[in-house]
Amino acid sequence: MVAGVDNLSLVRNIGIMAHIDAGKTTTSERIIYYTGRSHKMGEVHDGNATMDWMEQEQERGITITSAATTCKWQGHQINIIDTPGHVDFTVEVERCLRVLDGAIAVFCAVGGVESQSETVWRQADKYKVPRLAFVNKMDRNGADLERCLRMMVERLGVVPLLIQLPVGSEENFRGIVDLIQEEMLLFDEYSQGNKVLREPIPANLITASAAARMALIEKLADFDDGVMEKFLNEQTCTAAELSRAIRAATLSLRAVPVSCGSALRNKGVQPLLDAVINYLPSPLDVPPVHGVDQDGRDQRRQAGDQQKLSALAFKITSDPFVDNLAYVRVYSGVLRVGGKVYNPLKRKQEKIGRILRMHANKREEIQELHAGDIGAVVGLKFTATGDSLCGLGDHFVLDTMEFPESVISVAIEPKGKADEEKLAGALARISVEDPSFRVRTDPDTGQIIIAGMGELHLEIIADRLRREFKVGVNVGRPQVAYKESIANLARVETRFEQPTASGKGQYAHISLEFNPRPRGAGFAFQSLLDEDKVPPLFIAAVSKAVENAMTSGVLLGFPVIDLEVKLIDGSYHEVESTPQAFGIATGIACRQGLLEADPRLLEPLMAVEITVPESFIGEVIVDLNGRRAAISGNDSLIGDLRVIRAQVPLAEMFGYSTDLRSATQGRANYTMHFRGHELVPDHLAQQIIKRVKGLG
């Protein structure tokens, strides 16, 4: 059983995801209020939202870190994770979607499918997470449900199943028509929406609701034979038949149910909860969890307490009271306080000190986490984000998580001697928490360089150092985190021979081939040699040395990406060859090979979406062209508003917020997210290299 729920089919593990300012946290606040988990509605604009508990979140009115809670609805247990909407914190969405069974995608009825909506949707696609859509802010001027549905089709490539119609529009929005049950739902304002009034569909909406229900049935006929038969024979489908067909289409990722409402005005949240129960999966509805054993063979484990333990630590947080908290999803078996578990990636035994059920930053101690449950564990010393946990004597490694590369960096230094030691410890703790955060020391200047996903990301980290860790720091100007690659093929042969004092020499001989790969393909190493040519021990040393060499390029020392290195020839000496010798030879060959393969500098390219009044569109486009932008779209939005989509190098976007406000009298806004890396034009690359090396 799971935390008081006797049946695993009554459990829902869901995330709430959206573009920034679509109303995601407000929706979460209403959910925990209507389910009785909280007795007071928190408001983002008042800085008292339960799920936005960090000081920085309350001050800025945005979600920075994902927050978890558990609530009950209609006899079901719902484990909820509220995720950030800002692109700088997309890693929080990534690791939460990895462990969730379903998701609610919140869309603004005015903005529709915005840029970060697309990003989180693709992340959910990656992990094959069934989801339903909630079109929020139906009470706002310019709210347009039909336009939002069209954008879902065009931008997300999904089949939306509209299950509700709005009653009234914009400031006159009052409630919804439930197309499944064929009734109108109104939400009593005097009880803060607690009382839901169910009434017959009024005469002025009967025609529209009948047409919408028929359109829903026509779409479902493509997915369900029973509905198809009734549709062709012009027979009436029951509510149970429609619900069953919608659930099947949702779980198979062929369609997405769409509901609507206004979370801020307390309208439409209870039907959204009903949709979570009716259409999103339980742990029993998702495929068995996939992993590999000690020999690399595929293994599957069904959800259930009687199965062997398999769990994933998907998030590590620093806690002032209990050191580190590890957020864990249990897929099978039971995790118990005082029990011992095995981390197969670290090859370490761990002991479970305490288990906590989280409600944002509040916690409740429990004794067990069952299959399908999510909780936080105290006492894990070696476990990091993405590590698997299994029983002692077992070896079961779940699919690991991949995190994006950082795109921006700043130099940081302690203000005084007392801050030096504290800074190192604080940065180490933040690194454990945040897989998208990087720390390194510049070998030339000795400066500490921190890197992250954007200016806001690093700004928040600097703020946390001062407030949370009490470390005085000075922060430099943001710098682009460039990458390096190659443009041509190169082959290099290296023979390393060195006598030693003992008389036994060192010998290694290798030939490496360096090939450029397409943008985004990443790095790969391949050995073409038979074992009798070079033994596996030495090939492994070459592979490791190549990987180490790719962390620092020959132009400016940035990581090298998008190339393949092949070991095409080599020889060894039975007595004098060692892994160390092959490692040294590889390092020499890599540096020479990168130099001969025409090294190139790559820069982060950002997808930018700007919402601007039409009267200012000329100034904005001229400014973008001056920033080396490639404009890909220019669409109308609402009234005189237009949306410009472009790809712009990150180096050109520093200070853009101020420039955009100045050029448009404060009436435009923009969002951007990382798209990939592209070549820096040669003349600019030479300028950057000279500037960084201090030559110009």
Q: What 3 state SS string does 267-299 have?
A: ECHHHHHHHHHHHCCCCCCCCCEEEECCCCCEE
- What does the alpha-carbon distance between residue 48 and residue 340 come to, in Å, rounded to a whole number? 39
d(CA 668, CA 661): 6
Do residues 87 and 457 make contact, with C-beta atoms less than 8 angstroms apart? Answer: no
**What pLDDT score was predicted for residue 690?**
86
Rounded (5°) CA angle 548-554-555:
135
Share of the chain above pLDDT 90, in %: 44
| pLDDT at res. 13 | 92
Rg (CA), the chain: 28
Residues 6+ apart with CB under 8 A from 662: none
CA-based nearest residue to 184, from 169, 196, 171: 196
Helix axes 203-220, 239-251, angle to 10 degrees: 50
Residue 635, both tokens: 């669409």
Q: In what order do the strands lie in the sheet with 374-378?
A: 348-351, 340-343, 387-391, 310-319, 323-332, 374-378, 354-359, 362-366
Of 620, 676, 615, the C-alpha closest to 644 is: 620
C-alpha–C-alpha distance, residues 107 and 260, integer Å: 9
CA 267 to CA 533: how far, in whole Å? 72
Residue 48 pLDDT:
47
Nearest to 436 by CA among 402, 462, 466, 469: 402
Q: What does the pLDDT read at residue 182?
A: 94
User: Distance (Å, rounded) from C-alpha 8 to C-alpha 29?
Assistant: 25
Residue 86's H or E segment, with its range, is none
Distance CA 121, CA 673 (A): 14
- How far from the centroid of its chain's Cα atoms is residue 8's Cα? 27
**CA 366/CA 378 separation, integer angstroms:** 12
* Burial class of residue 30 (count of CB atoms within 10 Å of its CB; 0-12, 13-18, 19+): buried
Q: Are strands 102-108 and 11-18 parallel, antiparallel or unpaired?
A: parallel
For residue 160, the model assigns a pLDDT of 96
Say whether 606 sits in a helix, a strand or coil: strand
Residues of the chain scoring pLDDT < 70: 1-6, 38-66, 84-90, 319-323, 360-361, 443-445, 500-503, 636-639, 694-696
DSSP H or E segment with residue 230: helix 225-232
Q: How far is CA 39 from CA 31, 50, 235, in A?
A: 11, 11, 46
Which of 282, 353, 248, 228 is CA-nearest to residue 77?
A: 282
8 Å CB contact between 474 and 416: no
Predicted pLDDT of residue 41: 58
Q: How many CB atoms lie within 10 A of CB 13?
A: 26
With beta carbons less than 8 A apart as the criterion, state whether 19 and 84 touch: no
pTM: 0.73
- Say if residue 304 is exposed, middle or buried (CB neighbours under 10 Å; 0-12, 13-18, 19+): middle
The strand pairing partners of 523, in sequence order, are 563
Residues whose CB falls within 8 Å of the CB of residue 195, separated by 6 or more in sequence, listed in order = 187, 188
Q: Which residues contact 544 (CB under 8 A, 6 or more apart)?
A: 583
Tokens at 260, concatenated? 């609507």
Helix (H) or strand (E) holding 523: strand 523-527
